[in-house]
Amino acid sequence: MNVEVGWSLILGAGLGFGLWMLVSLVPILRRPLLLHRVAPYVLDVSAGARDLVARSRVSPTHVLGVAASPIGDRLTPVVHAVLGAPEGIHRRLRQAASSETVADFRGRQLRWSVLGGAIGAGLGVAGALQGAHVALPAALALLGAAIGAFTVDWLVQQRAKRRLSRISSELPSILEFLSLSLAAGEGLQDALRRVGAAGHSALGRELAGVVADAAAGTSLSSALAMLADELAHPAVTRSVDQMRGALERGTPLAQTLQAQALDARDAAKRDLLEAAGRKEISMLVPLVFGLLPTTVAFALWPGIHVLQVGF
């Protein structure tokens, strides 16, 4: 196999896949089925009808998914062991406030893996044509697929981490607002509704969701417990436990939330000091490798120049 044949295979496969995607997106010219005609009139009672109406395009990879489903069923335990269990993925997606389901997340991981594997295989084929080892395409394809899958998971983890950090910074103000509302004579549900409608904070939106669940028929204690389980934030869990205790046993809550707000502010100060300690070395890097050599150069260069000219 020479260079021309190898590039012809790569470019031909890319052209064929692109043409297949374009053909799959062409609308089907036929009479609409009864299912499609009835669906707009039963949107309020049928989730399947809502999904059918909301479907804007046909995925060109559906055929691949159907064909690979038997293999996927056998590889599911291995994938869960390597890439994480569905429970952990659901928790990270919930912490990141993502609307994706676990199946959507796995599909995105698969697409990134295929893309990374294709790029790795293309680089491996190019290297093999230049005289590298014949196993290089397979090795680079596996490496690219692994990088693609883990990159998706890493991005979600970073989003969840940033959002939890934002919730930690908002928690003291939210607790103080709640304690003031409770001290003014409002009930807990009314105080949560007021806090949720007061701004656009991440924790405020979560509390607004709790109030909406309670208004839909779920008990307020159960909605708070669900919030604590899904977020898995230690400070929020402690606050929720106090709120549930106040609902179930009638214990006073305003002073407790005020004390928890003070504790949260102290914890934020400690985290800030720890972050400053961790950044100390990185703060010295531009000083040692940038400013200091420049200063030494400016100090020594005139003397070296005078010595060279004088002698």
The ranges assigned to domains in the chain are 29-59, 169-278
Rounded CA-CA distance 227/233 in Å is 10
Residue that is written with structure tokens 């998706």 in the block: 152
E strand or H helix that includes residue 59: none
Angstrom distance (rounded) from CA 80 to CA 191: 41
Quick: pLDDT tens for 106-153. 888 888 998 998 898 888 888 877 877 778 888 888 899 889 989 999
Contact 242, 225 (CB under 8 A): no
Model pLDDT, residue 58: 52
Phi, psi of 62 (to 5 degrees): -65, -40
Token pair listed for 25: 């997106």
pLDDT digits (tens, 9 = 90+) for 272-296: 888 888 777 777 888 888 888 888 8
pTM of this prediction?
Answer: 0.66
Query: Could you give phi then psi for residue 259, rounded to 5 degrees?
Result: -65, -40
CATH topology of domain 169-278: Receptor-associated Protein (1.20.81)
Instruction: Compute the distance between CA of residue 299 and CA of residue 121 in angstroms, rounded to an integer.
Output: 53
CB count, 10 Å around CB of 245? 14
Torsion of CA 280, 281, 282, 283, to 10 degrees: 50
Give the type of residue at 217: G
Q: Is the pLDDT of residue 101 over 60?
A: yes
Residue 196 identity = G
H-state helical runs in 85-184: 86-95, 102-129, 136-183
Please report the pLDDT score of residue 130 as a whole number: 80
Residue 69 has pLDDT above 90, yes or no: no
Q: Which residue has the higher pLDDT, 76 or 236?
A: 236
As a whole number of Å, the CA-based R_g of the chain is 29
